[in-house]
Structure 1
Amino acid sequence: MAWTTSLSNLVLAVYGFTLITGLPANILALYTFFQKIRKRSTPMDILLLSLTISDLVFLFFLPFRMVEAAQMKWTLPYFLCPLSGFIFYSTIYNSAFHLTAISVERYLGVAFPIKYKLKRNPRNAVIAVVFFWLISFAHCSIVYIMQYHNHSNPNFTEPSKRNTCYEDFSAEQLKILLPVRLELFAVLFCAPFLICCFCYVRFIHILSNLPNINTKKRMRAIGMALGTLLVFIVCFAPYNVTHVVGYVGGYSPEWRVYALLTSTFNACLDPFIFYFSSAALRGTFSSVLREVFRRLSLLCCRSTLYCPLVNCLNSDERTQSSTDSSR
């Protein structure tokens, strides 16, 4: 892949937007789920907390990729290259696993409400979360293998002397990398996506046939289901399609960098899924928004440049009138 000014600007814009929107939303979600688990934990809360941590880890390492895009080459200490790539790809697949587990939990909750409630145990969610992290890390360790592979080749450039990060693979490296990428597509994307589709299609069908469920609650649940499927299609699918194209063609597609850009949106879209999934988070978001609007209103009324003076005076007059009436 050859960096250009337009590509650099595009990458910085997408990564910057993801960082600015995703970081505060995920920090707020982390605080909410942590407080809720301290009081009383459910499998859903544990899954959402782990997914939030995964997104925050992703966002923490995103600035390293932004520096590379800004400089149009890798200028940071080289050990950060495989580390940032390892975290970048691992958290993408880790998010896919968590979203799939959430879909299964939702489906079981409506398909078998009594039986599932009796067997529901937060410990099982903790075991699942540990498994998701381990399998994601294990599969994406290929990043380290590729970065330091082929030391015996006389044309091999020492990692510390490179100015590129996880690109420009040799033919020997591609023989190892391309089959692994195909396996990532099948096991870490296709399988979770099919499970998600089945669970949420059944979930929506069951909810649509329940006569006594609140309409607002039904629409919120359907919104969560559609939002999750949208994340898979928009965020995860383009990048994983490059695995298949690369394997069939025997090369690493140059347009992978554009497909990867959509994957980053996952970190700022997940909080919206959290919003549909958690009443506690909806309450926290509402409280924060009310406080923000209250402070903006105060600033507006104190400013003669941005707020019509008449509105502020009317507000003062109404307050004074209310006070006089109470007397």
Structure 2
Amino acid sequence: MQDCETGLCLSVYIITFITGFPCNILAFYTFCCKVWKKPVPIDILLLNLTISDLLFLIFLPFKMQEVANGMVWNMPYFLCPLSGFIFYMTIYNSTFFLTAVGVERYLGVAFPIQHSLRRRPVYAVVASIFLWMLSILHLSIVYIMPYYNPTGTGSPPRNVCYEEFTDAQLQVLLPVRLELCVVLFFIPLVICAFCYISFICILMRLPNIGRRRRLRAIGLALGTLLVFALCFGPYNISHIVGFITKKSPGWRDKALLLSTFNACLDPLIFYLSSAAVRSNLSTVGSAILSRLKQWNCAGICWTLGKGPFVMGKSPLPKPPELNAL
């Protein structure tokens, strides 16, 4: 059984939830408004990526509860395969939609005329449905495996969620994990790297692209590739190691922790990709700063007056002779 250090895992999950949930809610609202007013393919893809991240964050408290209980599953057992299915599916959803965004951006600069003539929102909708179905079909193994027991003996205990497997289960699971690694990670990584490297090279050759836009494009490309390498790389390498050694590596849970950071790193990609997200984030930030200034001013007035400050009334005590009038 893998042992996730309670303090480390809870810290990562809580930080991811606190930072990722409000940012993705803001992005969800922004992309919904944009798609409703004027749907364009890249906004549809980013909206689907946001939905995937929010789904991941909604089910993240189940992982928090499991870690807080020392990796003992004390909730209804049907939630174990369901939460695991959602948890892993949304991880690979991110690789698909990040790659799709990269392809969309590459086509827009490499073939601007042809792409603009053939650019239709319905294509992005069809592509999104296809990617969701591909991810669901592949990750259905996560839901099925806890119930799979061909021998009828030695089934894993019901107080452990997706950790202990029989030899018969591993014979099925380890090859499937390897296939997930190749199809859902390495192929999208190669496509994404090609698209963003080509995207940057083309932008560098264009004379009418401002310095600020170039830097934002480089930041977008590097941010996306960083998410792939940092968040998904170690976890998918654990699939290869597990297939070779015929067992799950002990550091697999640490690698999975890095995957959770994807939910709070994706908003950085949204910020670099969408002017509307940058505008809404600036508006929200200004509103929060203004409210903090008001609270700070009220605190100063309270401190100086030793009580609530009311305009037109002195906070200082009156002399007895005035009180008698």
| TM-score (norm. length: structure 2) | 0.91
Residues 232 and 306 of structure 1: CA distance in aligned 2, closer, same or farther (over 3 Å): farther
Verify the 8 A CA contact 2:3 2:253 in the aligned structure 1. Answer: no
Matches within 5 A, 1:31-110: 31-72=29-70, 73-110=72-109
Counterpart in the other structure of 1:315: none
Deviation at 1:145, TM superposition (A): 2.2
Verify the 8 A CA contact 2:81 2:144 in the aligned structure 1. Answer: no
Alignment of 1:175 onto 2:167:
no
Verify the 8 A CA contact 2:110 2:199 in the aligned structure 1. Answer: yes
Unpaired runs of 5+ residues, structure 1, are 310-327
Verify the 8 A CA contact 2:2 2:253 in the aligned structure 1. Answer: no
Matches within 5 A, 1:1-327: 1-3=1-3, 7-72=5-70, 73-150=72-149, 152-156=151-155, 162-304=158-300
Q: Provide the C-alpha distance between the structure 2 equivalents of 1:307 and 1:38, rounded to a whole number of angstroms.
A: 49
Q: Provide the C-alpha distance between the structure 1 equivalents of 2:124 and 2:69, rounded to a whole number of angstroms.
A: 42
Verify the 8 A CA contact 1:147 1:166 in the aligned structure 2. Answer: yes
Residues 308 and 54 of structure 1: CA distance in aligned 2, closer, same or farther (over 3 Å): farther
Verify the 8 A CA contact 1:300 1:306 in the aligned structure 2. Answer: no
Verify the 8 A CA contact 1:301 1:307 in the aligned structure 2. Answer: no
Q: Provide the C-alpha distance between the structure 2 equivalents of 1:300 and 1:65, rounded to a whole number of angstroms.
A: 38
RMSD after superposition: 1.6
Q: Provide the C-alpha distance between the structure 1 equivalents of 2:168 and 2:44, rounded to a whole number of angstroms.
A: 42
1:20 aligned partner, one-letter code: I
SS in 2 for 1:49: helix
Residues 123 and 142 of structure 1: CA distance in aligned 2, closer, same or farther (over 3 Å): same
Q: Provide the C-alpha distance between the structure 1 equivalents of 2:67 and 2:252, rounded to a whole number of angstroms.
A: 15
SS in 2 for 1:295: helix
Q: Provide the C-alpha distance between the structure 1 equivalents of 2:62 and 2:180, rounded to a whole number of angstroms.
A: 24
Residues 39 and 308 of structure 1: CA distance in aligned 2, closer, same or farther (over 3 Å): farther
Verify the 8 A CA contact 2:28 2:51 in the aligned structure 1. Answer: yes
Verify the 8 A CA contact 2:2 2:163 in the aligned structure 1. Answer: no
Q: Provide the C-alpha distance between the structure 1 equivalents of 2:250 and 2:163, rounded to a whole number of angstroms.
A: 9
Residues 151 and 206 of structure 1: CA distance in aligned 2, closer, same or farther (over 3 Å): same
Q: Provide the C-alpha distance between the structure 1 equivalents of 2:303 and 2:281, rounded to a whole number of angstroms.
A: 26
Identical columns (%): 58
Deviation at 1:306, TM superposition (A): 10
Q: Provide the C-alpha distance between the structure 2 equivalents of 1:298 and 1:167, rounded to a whole number of angstroms.
A: 50
Give the count of matched residue pairs.
Answer: 304
Verify the 8 A CA contact 1:15 1:66 in the aligned structure 2. Answer: yes
1:8-47 CA distance string (max 9 Å, x none): 1111100000000000000000000001111101000100
Q: Provide the C-alpha distance between the structure 1 equivalents of 2:227 and 2:302, rounded to a whole number of angstroms.
A: 39
Q: Provide the C-alpha distance between the structure 1 equivalents of 2:111 and 2:8, rounded to a whole number of angstroms.
A: 47
SS in 1 for 2:74: coil
Deviation at 1:304, TM superposition (A): 2.0
Residues 305 and 260 of structure 1: CA distance in aligned 2, closer, same or farther (over 3 Å): farther
Residues 41 and 307 of structure 1: CA distance in aligned 2, closer, same or farther (over 3 Å): farther
Q: Provide the C-alpha distance between the structure 1 equivalents of 2:246 and 2:178, rounded to a whole number of angstroms.
A: 11
